[in-house]
Amino acid sequence: MAQDTVMSKAPFERLRAVIQEKKNLQNPLIEILRQAQEIFGYLPIEVQEFISQEINVPISKIYGVVTFYNFFTMKPRGKYTVNVCLGTACYVKGAARIVTILEETLGIKMGETTPDNLFTLSAIRCVGACSLAPVMVIGEDTFGRLESKKQIQEIIQKFQAIK
Ligand code: FES
């Protein structure tokens, strides 16, 4: 679904307040970007340009930081991020198959968001639950010993039901 590119003013006012508060820190950029992502949910180029003007840092530097750290995203995310662990233990126990099942179930590829903006499919590294491998994390919930398509579909359906 096409994302609305017209952004309302209120979030920019909140971001301006954050910048005022943080800009005198020794290295404020990452903290400002982190809070900007909390406000907007992602970091589109309009937000990066706004920060660039407010703190007088070239847009190229801001873009470089946003694209370097994988916890920053320039694409809107769904309400729930389905994180599949691709750490070694999970990989050995079939994480790639779990990714395929999720791609089929959600109808999207890794890194994409469903058209209803409910789910984003993402990969993470070891979350320290290797004994439960293969593992996926949705919000604060960790699901382990994933095996069947049916089991994974039921988990997804539970999140669809609560929306
Ligand atoms: S490798 Fe997946 S939880 Fe450790």
Q: What is the pLDDT of residues 39-89, one digit of tens each?
A: 988 899 999 999 999 999 999 999 999 999 878 889 888 989 999 999 999
Cβ atoms of 88 and 96 closer than 8 Å: no
- By the 8 A CB rule, do 19 and 55 touch? yes
Q: Please say if the pLDDT value at position 143 is more than 90.
A: yes
105-129 per-position pLDDT tens digit = 999 999 889 999 899 999 999 999 9
- Contact 123 CB / ligand 1 (< 6 Å): no
pTM score of the predicted model: 0.69
| pLDDT given for residue 41 in this prediction | 83
Backbone dihedral region for residue 60 (phi beyond 0: left; psi -120 to 50: alpha; all else: beta): alpha
DSSP 84-130: EE-SHHHHHTTHHHHHHHHHHHHT--TT-B-TTS-EEEEEE---S-G
If one residue of 135, 137, 142, 146 were mutated to test the ligand 1 pocket, choosing by the most ligand atoms within 8 A of its CB, it would be: 135
Q: Please report the pLDDT score of residue 156 as a whole number.
A: 97
Cβ atoms of residues 122 and 83 within 8 Å: yes
CB 14 within 8 A of CB 21: no
Instruction: Kindly give the number of the ligand 1 atom that is closest to the alpha carbon of 88.
Output: 1
CA distance 65 to 153: 36
Q: What is the pLDDT of residue 30?
A: 95
3 pLDDT higher than 80? no
